[in-house]
Amino acid sequence: MSETFKAPEGDFRGHDRQSVWSQTPDPELTEIGPGTPCGEYQRRFWLPVAMTDQVSDLPYRIRILGEDLVLFREPGEGKLGLTHLHCAHRNMSLEFGIIEPGGIRCSYHGWKYGLDGTVLETPCEPPASQVKKKACLGAYPVIEYKGLAFAYMGPHAEQPPFPVIDTFDEEGDEMLPSLIKSPCNWLQVMENAWDPFHVVYLHTLAVRSQFIDAFAEMPMIEFHEAQFGEFYTNVRRVNDFVWIRVHDHMMPSFTQNGAHFPVPDRSRYFGRCGLSRWVVPIDDTHTQVVTWRHFRDGDDPKGLTDKSKVGYGSTDFYGQDPDRPYEMRQRDPGDYDAWVSQGPRNIHSRENLSFTDRGVAKVRRMLRKEIRSLADGNPVKHPTDDYDGILPTYAGDTILRIPLQEGRDDGAVLKEISFAVAGIFKDGDKQPIEDRKGFIIDALKTYEASWT
Amino acid sequence: MSETFKAPEGDFRGHDRQSVWSQTPDPELTEIGPGTPCGEYQRRFWLPVAMTDQVSDLPYRIRILGEDLVLFREPGEGKLGLTHLHCAHRNMSLEFGIIEPGGIRCSYHGWKYGLDGTVLETPCEPPASQVKKKACLGAYPVIEYKGLAFAYMGPHAEQPPFPVIDTFDEEGDEMLPSLIKSPCNWLQVMENAWDPFHVVYLHTLAVRSQFIDAFAEMPMIEFHEAQFGEFYTNVRRVNDFVWIRVHDHMMPSFTQNGAHFPVPDRSRYFGRCGLSRWVVPIDDTHTQVVTWRHFRDGDDPKGLTDKSKVGYGSTDFYGQDPDRPYEMRQRDPGDYDAWVSQGPRNIHSRENLSFTDRGVAKVRRMLRKEIRSLADGNPVKHPTDDYDGILPTYAGDTILRIPLQEGRDDGAVLKEISFAVAGIFKDGDKQPIEDRKGFIIDALKTYEASWT
Amino acid sequence: MSETFKAPEGDFRGHDRQSVWSQTPDPELTEIGPGTPCGEYQRRFWLPVAMTDQVSDLPYRIRILGEDLVLFREPGEGKLGLTHLHCAHRNMSLEFGIIEPGGIRCSYHGWKYGLDGTVLETPCEPPASQVKKKACLGAYPVIEYKGLAFAYMGPHAEQPPFPVIDTFDEEGDEMLPSLIKSPCNWLQVMENAWDPFHVVYLHTLAVRSQFIDAFAEMPMIEFHEAQFGEFYTNVRRVNDFVWIRVHDHMMPSFTQNGAHFPVPDRSRYFGRCGLSRWVVPIDDTHTQVVTWRHFRDGDDPKGLTDKSKVGYGSTDFYGQDPDRPYEMRQRDPGDYDAWVSQGPRNIHSRENLSFTDRGVAKVRRMLRKEIRSLADGNPVKHPTDDYDGILPTYAGDTILRIPLQEGRDDGAVLKEISFAVAGIFKDGDKQPIEDRKGFIIDALKTYEASWT
């Protein structure tokens, strides 16, 4: 019996590391309520707050950045309104309000508000009543496009233009909106997009190829700057091909990645993004991922997509939502399981960031800098600053036939290609918008040919 | 595309008004736990704590004023007992206790308590044990009447007489009890009864007539004092008739209103209340509305009542409970939706009180004054102070045939009638109780005739 | 009507005793999280953390002493590993990890940990990465025996030997494990075992005999010391027999009691325990009761056991789990209802401890002393201190034919027998282990015969 009760040997440090249980989240990057530094920073941007197919003829209650709101479509001109949830009179919820042309009316005593929150009518009051002038309801402007409603929740005087991106209106591109909620802080969901190495493990080597087998190869990552923000090149050799995958990032949380199911077995020039994605805080411990999935001929040579799954609460690629049995999530975990299981608010002091976490570290530094800059009274930087037109972005897949170069270290070759392709993309910005795509494709072909 | 992304114009003040998210409830009027000023004030009154049809041969666990309690009927004399939930010995819950003649016994070690919480038996203790004298269980006296159990939870020495009201025992009146819970603070539920204007909007103009069409007319409201507390007259002209609806209020939360489905198309003299109603705090964010619905011949000429719906968790008029789908609540909100959606505890600093909120403002002032008076060490005022018999109340509907008076402003006429009818009701107090009703009816008829 | 509204008379002290609602639990004995004095004390012992039949080929998430952990069986040698839940790299939960020979691998970026938490692999990192040496995962050693997994969660350097008990491996004894959770603090569950008087009331007199009728008799209780800790003798006269039931206790929460369904109608010598039981804190307000039920010929003469009910979430005797309708729990409450209904954390300042609570008071004193001693820097006392072999314990039922003694007070007789039998058990410790049982049985027979 004594052998049975012999304790295992080893350097067990559970007790030594019990500090993990008292460490706390980083408030500067994770608290987003009204008045918080990060909350104020996020409020300087247009954020997608809802899918418009969820807005019926009834008020639609939502929560964004810790604020309870009601979104509605007034039946006059069909415009969307977004106001604070509680009536400015006696605080009854406007989710029970009556939508009318030009605004919304509280059902308790009939106060009617315009789309901008102005009190239009107070029907029970005597004619001399001045309360209409004194009171107002908090409201935010809304822009609607391809199934998404975007709001600006910052100070009215600092409202930036909507940053229109080249990928929002391309010929031959069908864009389908999706919105999925996660019970965790926004930052860990956003960081997932700055972490190209989890694709190797979580999506490929861990259990099975959730996307394509080629993701198993360790990529070479280089970071670059652009007018819209930052991007990185994600380069892999696949036999005689070099696959350059570009990932865009625009502050505070917009990202675009390459195609979801590419097959790097032939040349491809300036293939574009599979996803345009915002990570929007609901509150400190809930987040909505709002996306447009792009569907174009050639993006999915193996036919692995299913458009019918893209919508409210689900999308067409694995692991983005909780609607899988716990055992399936354990046996084949996805992105959702990764970021949600980091906890309601991930605790950075428990982490051991390493070489592969350069992107995560970089985005935290950038955020921290911008948040502090705003808190210090500086204006917020926008991609539209000193820029008028549609913003050119780069995300997508380019595949060039460039075999192994005899006598050269392939790492050095891939690095050289990373910067050369990034340079071609940036040169494209200087072209007239109607010539840009052709210019980039031609330049990529010329560059590819230069290696033969 | 640029038109699409143009932000709407208007004076959007959502960000300016983000202070609404950090404002907090008013503790003086909304905190009711043990030791709080409002809690101590409410504990000076007899409050209905349960419907007796919920009390079986088992202990019945309830929560009142933030205290966990057990209500039970001892089988000896059939009396109700009400004690603190946890046994005074080792804190096992008495919801698992054994009810016996004269008291309740804890099932853990058999301690038995009398109805007043005295320890009667400690069967496992040796005969010499003195613990019976040292220990006692918190208990409150209970009065039972027509299906309701009332308790007094204040200091024993300050226990007032039960304030018996004239409407509690009228010939030809069938009284049915009801108890419905709401997940919000007591005050916002109570204030609803001090707000005659929501009847115009929420119950009539907002969506449909939840009661009768005549409520759509804006009423003239006047406040008056009475022995039992306060009342207001709620006067409307309906063609050749003047409809005087009287609403009683007795501190801290008792109200009586007129009939639920009156038809003001003929004279009616001293019709009585449709509802006697208490709003009892369960805790700071839960409330029970306890009522007797009165059913008398003539109160419901159109046959809109349904006695079978009056009971635990429901009643016979619309919008008092949550048992409606969310969409139905959105399309046709009722009182429950109004007060619950103000939030767990309504935030007064967010409100914009106006002319029509005079009743709400008045009852808050009255409560604040009485709460502070008690906190300052003064005795609490009771309607039974210096008054011996059954308390006369006034609530109900009187309808007088008084056509428009040529050459006189009708507002002035209605105001004159408000005070004249209130005066007749008050004069009735001076009559012997058995003559009172006849006196009032005769005086009303004489007054009506004086206008011809 | 006035009689109806007359308040009941009595000394109602509910308001006087409202202090019960603001009293708070005793942190010294009830807080068990990392770094708390009681938590540190409990971490010095081997505690059963799970039933091994719950551990499949997937990681098994558990919570012990306020720590979130993952238990898994690595498929190489079949050993159990127990680590902190969150990966030391980016905090993804290891409940989604991949179990491999020798350890567990996080599915996010593939870090692999050994059973002791050492980082074995970081596959996405470049070869020069030093992060493996810097980082480690908290892990605890595990011992597995007869369906239970035991862990030591204290400082590695202070790890005691596993205290092996004589009852863990007896011939003819079938041991079945069980684990049942309760939503309350560990202390109130543990104290239940130190309270022999609740057996009289809760289990016998309150409603019905949940075990056997003989428990209705009030026992004589005497406390004694032993190598393994404390034990008490629980002595009752049953006609011509004296029934000596022995109850063991080993710090911090291990207890053994007698048979569950004994019939004291004939002599029995050194019958052994029906249950070996640990009360393990999940967190401050949740507890798991982990037991082995012992099944031997002769322990259950009436055939009241049902082995098939013993397992995860249930056992073969009444009232240990919540899976009974609320009304059944009210009509026939069990141990679970007693300890859970004391509240999430029982409030000692509300109690009135008395003569029958000597055991409860004693175990609290002992715990407080040991907790303070550790906090003062002293080493923790273990039953294995200065003791090498298998620990002899005493729990079980001995029944001796000793009729009433003419001319002697039976209380004095029972007390004398309590100490005499305890003495025989203690003398047994001095025998070689293989002779011990025979020695005790012979000594008991001789002692019984001495009374004839």
Contact residues, A window 39-98, toward B, CB-based 8 Å cutoff: 43, 58-59, 66-67, 79, 82-84, 86, 88-93, 95-96, 98
Total residues found in chain B within this entry? 452
Residues A99, A10: Cα–Cα separation, whole Å: 68
Residues C187 and C148 grouped into a single domain = no
pLDDT, tens only, B232-290: 999 999 999 999 999 999 999 999 999 988 889 999 999 999 999 999 999 999 999 99
Residues A150 and A298 grouped into a single domain = no
Query: Looking up tokens 């709460």, which residue turns up?
Result: B371
pLDDT, tens only, B302-355: 888 999 999 999 999 999 999 999 999 999 999 999 999 999 999 999 999 999
Burial of C429 (0-12, 13-18, 19+ CB in 10 A): middle
For residue A426, the surrounding DSSP H or E stretch is helix A410-428
C192 to chain B: closest CA residue: B108
For residue B451, is pLDDT > 80?
yes
Please enumerate in sequence order all residues whose Cβ is within 8 A of that of A80, keeping only pairs 6 or more positions apart, or say none: A52, A55, A71, A72, A73, A74, A142, A144, A149
CATH classification of the domain holding B237 = 3.90.380.10
- Of C226, C227, C296, C303, whose CA–CA distance to C268 is shortest? C296
The CA-atom distances, in angstroms, between B382 and each of B46, B163, C4, C257 are 11, 8, 19, 60
Residues A97 and A180 grouped into a single domain = no
Burial of C407 (0-12, 13-18, 19+ CB in 10 A): exposed
Report the gap between the CA of C324 and the closest CA in chain B (Å): 13
Residues B236, B102: Cα–Cα separation, whole Å: 55
Q: Do B138 and C355 touch (CB under 8 A)?
A: no
A112 to chain B: closest CA residue: B206
DSSP A48: E
For residue B437, is pLDDT > 90?
yes
- C38 falls within a domain: no
Q: Do B8 and A123 touch (CB under 8 A)?
A: no
Residues A196, A217: Cα–Cα separation, whole Å: 11
The structure tokens listed for A192 are 């997932």
Specify whether the CB–CB gap between B279 and B287 falls below 8 A.
yes
Boundary of a domain, candidates B158, B186, B220? B158
Q: Do A98 and B206 touch (CB under 8 A)?
A: yes
| A433 interfaces chain B, CB cutoff of 8 Å | no
B418: domain range?
166-381+390-449
pLDDT at B302: 86
- A312 falls within a domain: yes
pLDDT at A409: 96
For residue B232, the surrounding DSSP H or E stretch is strand B229-238
pLDDT, tens only, A42-59: 999 999 999 999 999 999
Q: Which residues of A touch B356 (CB under 8 A)?
A: 109, 124-125
Residues C306 and C413 grouped into a single domain = yes
Report the gap between the CA of C10 and the closest CA in chain B (Å): 6
Please enumerate in sequence order all residues whose Cβ is within 8 A of that of A114, keeping only pairs 6 or more positions apart, or say none: A102, A103, A120, B10
Contact residues, A window 349-388, toward C, CB-based 8 Å cutoff: 350-357, 360
Residues B101 and B182 grouped into a single domain = no
For residue B218, is pLDDT > 60?
yes
| C122 interfaces chain A, CB cutoff of 8 Å | yes
The structure tokens listed for A68 are 């309870």
pLDDT, tens only, A314-369: 999 999 999 999 999 999 999 999 999 999 999 999 999 999 999 999 999 999 99
Please enumerate in sequence order all residues whose Cβ is within 8 A of that of C319, keeping only pairs 6 or more positions apart, or say none: C210, C332, C333, C334, C335, C336, C337
Segment B416-443 shows an average pLDDT of 96
> Within its chain, how far is the Cα of C168 from the centroid?
15
CATH classification of the domain holding C103 = 2.102.10.10
Q: Which residues of A touch C86 (CB under 8 A)?
A: 20, 341-343, 350
Q: What is the band of B1 on the pLDDT scale with cuts at 50, 70, 90?
A: low
- B21 falls within a domain: no
The structure tokens listed for B90 are 């080792």
Boundary of a domain, candidates B103, B123, B158? B158
Residues A189, A280: Cα–Cα separation, whole Å: 9
pLDDT, tens only, A401-411: 999 999 999 99
Q: What is the DSSP string of B252-283?
A: TTEEEE--SS---SS-BSS---SEEEEEEEEE
Exposure letters A366-403 (e unless 16+ CB within 10 A, then b): bbeebbeebeeeeebebbbeeeeebbbbbbbbbbbebe
C13 to chain B: closest CA residue: B138
Residues C227, C383: Cα–Cα separation, whole Å: 6
Q: How many CB pairs under 8 A join A and B?
A: 165
A14 to chain C: closest CA residue: C138
- A10 falls within a domain: no
Contact residues, B window 285-344, toward A, CB-based 8 Å cutoff: 327, 329-331, 333, 337-338, 341-343
Boundary of a domain, candidates B105, B139, B158? B158
pLDDT, tens only, A384-394: 998 888 999 99
Specify whether the CB–CB gap between B66 and B49 falls below 8 A.
no
Residues C355 and C411 grouped into a single domain = yes
Angle at A314 between CA A313 and CA A319, to 5 degrees: 120
The structure tokens listed for C394 are 């005493």
pLDDT, tens only, A177-214: 999 999 999 999 999 999 999 999 999 988 888 988 88
Q: How many domains does chain A fold into? A: 2
Residues C128 and C243 grouped into a single domain = no
Q: What is the DSSP string of C346-409?
A: --GGG----GGGHHHHHHHHHHHHHHHHHHTTPPPP-TTTT--SPBP---EEEEEE-PPPTTS-
The CA-atom distances, in angstroms, between A278 and each of A42, A197, A255 are 12, 20, 7
Q: Which residues of B touch A162 (CB under 8 A)?
A: 5, 7
Q: Which residues of A touch B20 (CB under 8 A)?
A: 84, 86, 138
DSSP A96: G
Q: Do C58 and A331 touch (CB under 8 A)?
A: yes
Residues of chain C with pLDDT under 50: none
For residue B446, is pLDDT > 70?
yes
Q: Where are the beta strands (DSSP E) in B284-334?
A: 286-295
Specify whether the CB–CB gap between A152 and A48 falls below 8 A.
no
Specify whether the CB–CB gap between A242 and A397 falls below 8 A.
no
Q: Do A1 and C168 touch (CB under 8 A)?
A: yes
Q: What is the band of A1 on the pLDDT scale with cuts at 50, 70, 90?
A: low
Report the gap between the CA of B23 and the closest CA in chain A (Å): 12
Specify whether the CB–CB gap between C107 and C134 falls below 8 A.
no
Predicted complex ipTM exceeds 0.85: yes
B10 to chain A: closest CA residue: A116
CB count in 10 Å sphere of residue B348? 19
Total residues found in chain C within this entry? 452
Segment B98-114 shows an average pLDDT of 97
Residues A229, A248: Cα–Cα separation, whole Å: 8
Residues B337 and B303 grouped into a single domain = yes
Q: Which chains touch B (3 or more CB pairs under 8 A)?
A: A, C
Report the gap between the CA of B49 and the closest CA in chain C (Å): 15
A130 to chain B: closest CA residue: B354
- Of C67, C74, C136, C79, whose CA–CA distance to C101 is shortest? C74
- Of A333, A265, A270, A273, whose CA–CA distance to A302 is shortest? A265
Q: Do B33 and C21 touch (CB under 8 A)?
A: yes
Segment B357-367 shows an average pLDDT of 97
Residue A386: left if φ>0, alpha if ψ -120 to 50, beta else—which one?
Answer: left
pLDDT at B310: 98
SS3 of C83, please? strand
- B367 falls within a domain: yes
Q: Do B14 and A117 touch (CB under 8 A)?
A: yes
Q: Which residues of C touch A335 (CB under 8 A)?
A: none
CA dihedral of residues C398, C403, C407, C408 (deg, nearest 10): 10
For residue A134, the surrounding DSSP H or E stretch is helix A131-134
Residues B307, A189: Cα–Cα separation, whole Å: 55
Give this prediction's pTM. Answer: 0.96
Nearest to B13 among A91, A92, A156 (CB): A156
Residues A197 and A275 grouped into a single domain = yes
Residues B135 and B189 grouped into a single domain = no
Nearest to A11 among C84, C116, C131 (CB): C116
Q: Do B93 and C355 touch (CB under 8 A)?
A: no
| C2 interfaces chain B, CB cutoff of 8 Å | yes
Q: Do B206 and A107 touch (CB under 8 A)?
A: yes
Total residues found in chain A within this entry? 452
Which 3-state string (H, E, C) describes A395-415? Answer: CEEEEEECCCCCCCCHHHHHH
Residues B344 and B367 grouped into a single domain = yes
- B192 falls within a domain: yes
CA dihedral of residues A115, A118, A121, A124 (deg, nearest 10): 120
- C133 falls within a domain: yes
The structure tokens listed for A196 are 């190209």
A17 to chain C: closest CA residue: C138
Nearest to A134 among B198, B341, B352 (CB): B352
For residue B43, is pLDDT > 80?
yes
A352 to chain C: closest CA residue: C89
| C206 interfaces chain B, CB cutoff of 8 Å | yes
- Of A66, A98, A78, A62, whose CA–CA distance to A144 is shortest? A78
Residues C345 and C197 grouped into a single domain = yes
Specify whether the CB–CB gap between B294 and B351 falls below 8 A.
no
- C194 falls within a domain: yes
Segment A219-241 shows an average pLDDT of 96
Contact residues, B window 160-199, toward A, CB-based 8 Å cutoff: 197-198
